[in-house]
Amino acid sequence: MSTAPRAFGPLTRGKTASRPLLIVAALLLASFVVGFDTRVFAVGLPDIRGAYSLGFDEASWLSTVANAPQILISSAVAWLATVFGVRRVMIPTTLVYAGISLIIPMVHDGALLFGLHAARALLLGVFIPATIMVIFRNLDTKYWLIGLSIYALRVPLSQNLGFVLVGIYDDYLGWQWAYWQDVIVTPIIALLLIIGAPKEEVNVSLLEGADWGGMMLLGCSMAMIYVGLDQGNRLDWFNSGIVTSLLIGGAILFIGFLINESLVANPWAHASVILSRNIGIGYAIIIAFTFSSSGASLSIPGFLQTALGLRPIAISELYIFGAVIPVFFFIALAIFLLRRIDARLCIIIGLSCMSLGSLLGSHLAISWGPWNFLPVVLLHTAGQSFAFFATVVYLIANSDPKRSTAVSAYIQVIRLGSVELALSLLNTWLRQREQYHSNVLTGPISSSSDSLHGVLAKLETLFGASHQGSLKALSTVAATVHAQASVLAYADVFILSFCFAIAGIGLVACMGTMPFGPLHPDFHRKAPATGPQAAITG
């Protein structure tokens, strides 16, 4: 008696879009909404905190609530798009998202404020996974590389242009536009999808055999781990019962997810779809890339705002000329190269640029201003454009296109999880290194120190020889020591960023050759495509 082979994830099929340019435009806007909203909220949080009169702890939890629900839903979105089609998933999401974004600045109730941010984050988690599924379900294979470039473009663009937008909103338009920008953009996405996205039937058979348990286990486990990581630095990690419970509980649920996927008849995202050397190394490179990229995105604005006291608007020109304008050239160059050379070479080029930028940043000094960071920003923008884009192309190329629904679930977990892990650990590293350098710098200083008394005497000639003048002199010395400790700590973050970029280059050496397929440089010269079904079902 023969048995049917067991499936390890739903088959991904879709209709080719008749207006691909409209779909690409919708993808572009959806990708940017995610990146901009996340970045704008993070940079603009001090102003939002002031507008709502939130304490430090309340603002910290608001940040967590405004981000964690993304990972709760994002891994399941690819499956939802496979079952219901992109139109049914994306169009209502964009319109509801616009409505919530309109309401939030008008809310004054604390509980409602947190609830709306949670709902907004849940909807935001739909955008990027749906973007990936549109690429593989509804675009001809000749557009796949362009679609993935849009997905990759949002990383460097949102990190940098988001900072510029915060400066404009805070100083000219008002903090409310951190939310109201979406009232304009997301309805445009809905309109483009209404016109350009093909109408698809609901996959009833897949819906009837849905692995709801697996989806809930993965989403809840990642959300718990995300919250634990986000609050870890503030609550001192495993010295906090909340953080410990969240991390251990999330790990247990994730193990339960893996067990569930190996036992159920119709698994949603069986681990077998990613269990290969090339895919495992590809995910490891994304983690190394994320740590290296986060080091620079944390250190540059952190130093300029903390040590120099600059407002976001004062830093905007650096990001406009060092990142926002050049990134389009770098992405276009990456597309050109990926159509002609192996993706591994593009990854090496990108990580090499990032390592060089981090090495330059490690020479940080208190005398640096915004434009001293221009070479660092340019190199990191180039590196992000090449490394992340090429790694995603390599991962997809090494996956079974028929199982892209399952693969997309893991891509979202790695993308969101690695960013949160990087920021949490780097912030902890920054705090500890600042404390270390502060201790080293203040070690030789004592009440009987001749050098200290000499400095205080010079300062007292400026502030006066009174008791108040002495206090001002001591405060100035303390502020100078703290600023120098911060400079050294940020330089250490750049060194760590350099190490992760080098580690990523080492991982590339372990990668195998990209298999022949729609993303291979020789594919369109040897096997012209006829649509997504040709690559997915063939």
pLDDT tens sequence across 79-131: 787 788 788 888 899 999 999 999 988 888 878 889 998 999 888 888 877 77
Q: Report the C-alpha gap between 449 and 446 in whole angstroms.
A: 5
- The pLDDT, as a whole number, for residue 375 is 94
- The pLDDT, as a whole number, for residue 6 is 46
**Domain locations along the chain:** 11-209, 269-310+339-443+450-538
Neighbours of 232 (CB within 10 A): 24
Tokens linked to 320: 């406009």
Among 1.20.1250.20, 3.30.70.1450, 3.90.850.10, 2.40.128.110, what is the CATH number of 11-209? 1.20.1250.20
Phi-psi region of 346 (alpha: psi -120 to 50; beta: other; left: phi over 0): alpha
Q: Report the C-alpha gap between 254 and 244 in whole angstroms.
A: 15
- The pLDDT, as a whole number, for residue 182 is 86
Model confidence, pTM? 0.81
SS (H, E, C) 470-489: HHHHHHHHHHHHHHHHHHHH
Contact yes or no for 163/316 (Cβ under 8 A): yes
- The pLDDT, as a whole number, for residue 447 is 59
- The pLDDT, as a whole number, for residue 99 is 93
Looking at domain 269-310+339-443+450-538, does it have CATH number 1.20.1250? yes
Which residues have CB under 8 Å from 43's CB, separation 6+?
Answer: 162, 163, 166, 301, 312
Q: Report the C-alpha gap between 68 and 226 in whole angstroms.
A: 6
Q: Report the C-alpha gap between 450 and 448 in whole angstroms.
A: 6
**Residue 400's closest CA among 535, 533, 527?**
535
* Residue numbers in the chain where pLDDT is lower than 70: 1-18, 137-138, 273-274, 400-409, 443-471, 473-474, 477, 522-538
- The pLDDT, as a whole number, for residue 215 is 84
Amino acid letter for position 153: L
